[in-house]
Amino acid sequence: MRYLHTMVRVRDIDESLDFYCNKFGLKEVRRTENEKGRFTLIFLAASEDEGRSAAERAPELELTYNWDPEEYTGGRNFGHLAYVVDNIYETCQNLSDKGVVINRPPRDGNMAFIRSPDGISIELIQKGPALAPQEPWLSMPNTGTW
């Protein structure tokens, strides 16, 4: 397992980039616009992490801007922790066997979400290309929120 990024939702891209980049000193390393999902992802890295960010896409801070207005309360602006795993199916099965609820199963062979006892979302991402979809994950519904 390897740490990837922490995601924080932002309400104003310009204001956030001014804070994180101009004031705090992080650097934008990549950006994704998703018209279908109506969001923008901006990944930032500290100056000493830029090389690792380029090579490994970690460690980074992910700023998520949802195009539709939303009021963030109760920590909703903090998104999730993210970790890459060697085999997402084995990892999810191991967690499930230990009583951890898989809130968003890895139906796509690439991504799953679980929650900590304190309600912190944790994203699990398949290392390398996505695995072929397989049961029981393929038909497993979401449970709760993630």
Tens of pLDDT, residue by residue over 45-86, are: 999 999 999 999 999 999 999 999 888 776 777 878 899 999
Which residues participate in catalysis according to the annotation? 123
Give me the chain's average pLDDT, please. 92
Confidence at residue 81, expressed as pLDDT on a 0 to 100 scale: 85
Confidence at residue 117, expressed as pLDDT on a 0 to 100 scale: 79
Q: Which residue, chain included where needed, has tokens 């950006």?
A: 31
Confidence at residue 21, expressed as pLDDT on a 0 to 100 scale: 94
Nearest to 102 by CA among 87, 124, 86: 124
Nearest to 139 by CA among 112, 106, 94, 97: 106
Confidence at residue 79, expressed as pLDDT on a 0 to 100 scale: 79
Whole-prediction pTM:
0.74
Read off the pLDDT of residues 81-101 as tens digits, 9 standing for 90 and up: 899 999 999 999 999 999 999
Q: What is the CA radius of gyration of the chain?
A: 16
Res 120 pLDDT > 90: no
Q: With H, G, I as helix, E, B as strand and everything else as coil, classify residue 87.
A: coil
Alpha-carbon torsion, ordered 127, 8, 44, 53, to 10 deg: -20
